């Protein structure tokens, strides 16, 4: 033979083989071929060489191990992405709750109301609670929506003037 094959491995669902091909002049290159459908001898000289010199079952096991490792790595990556997204969601929810607690009518609300705001597990529930508190505040103070927006603007202005408050 005028070549040597090193490190053959199955790729593409075991239908193809990748290997290092060392030719008679010492030139080494990576090569691939499609495994003969019948998996019989005499169809491909490289396949014949691999059948004669390598353990096909070990090659299959190695391929399956690589697939399992890749699958576990993908699952780990997906789990990390989900965990990061959940962490960002919870951080955003926490920030929104902090904003709600800066409203004077929430600061002066009952412990029950404050506990409900702290327990709100989603933005939607936090918004619902905040809306109910805002409506009650507007009604109690005989405000219009524009009056309320002016009130909020005044609060923001005061916060900018006195950030430590």
Which range has the worst mean pLDDT, 16-25, 104-113, 135-144? 16-25
Does residue 94 surpass a pLDDT of 80?
yes
Q: How confident is the model at residue 128 (pLDDT cuts 50, 70, 90)?
A: very high
Strands, DSSP E only, in the chain? 3-11, 16-23, 28-34
Does residue 164 surpass a pLDDT of 80?
no
Does residue 38 surpass a pLDDT of 80?
no
Q: Would you call 93 exposed, middle or buried from its count of C-beta atoms within 10 A (0-12, 13-18, 19+)?
A: middle
Whole-number pLDDT of residue 1:
59
Whole-number pLDDT of residue 85:
97
Does residue 165 surpass a pLDDT of 70?
no
The overall average pLDDT reported for the chain is 90
Global pTM exceeds 0.75: no
Domain ranges of the chain: 3-54, 79-161
Q: What pLDDT, in 10s, does the model give residues 5-32?
A: 888 999 877 688 898 888 888 888 998 8
Name the DSSP letter for residue 61. H
Give residue for tokens 């290159």. 29
Q: Which residue has the higher pLDDT, 42 or 32?
A: 32
Contact partners, residue 139, CB within 8 Å, separation at least 6: none
Burial 131-159 (b: 16+ CB within 10 A, else e): eebbeebbeeeeeeeeeeeebeeeeeeee
Q: What pLDDT, in 10s, does the model give residues 69-88?
A: 999 999 999 999 999 999 99
Cα–Cα dist 13/9, whole Å: 11
Whole-number pLDDT of residue 5:
85
């Amino acid at each position: 033979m005028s070549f040597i094959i090193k490190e053959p491995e199955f790729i593409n669902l075991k239908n193809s083989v990748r290997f290092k091909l060392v030719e008679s002049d010492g030139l080494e290159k990576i090569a691939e071929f499609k495994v003969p459908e019948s998996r019989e001898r005499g169809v491909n000289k490289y396949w014949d060489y691999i059948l004669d010199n390598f353990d096909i079952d070990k090659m299959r096991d190695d391929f399956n191990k690589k697939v399992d490792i890749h699958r576990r790595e993908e699952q780990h990556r997906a789990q990390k992405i989900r965990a990061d997204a959940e962490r960002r969601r919870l951080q955003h929810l926490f920030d929104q709750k902090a904003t709600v607690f800066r409203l004077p009518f929430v600061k002066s609300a009952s412990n029950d109301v404050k506990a409900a705001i702290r327990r709100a597990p989603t933005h939607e529930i936090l918004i619902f609670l905040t809306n109910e508190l805002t409506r009650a505040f507007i009604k109690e103070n005989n405000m219009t929506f524009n009056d309320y927006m002016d009130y909020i603007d005044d609060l923001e202005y005061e916060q900018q003037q006195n950030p430590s408050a």
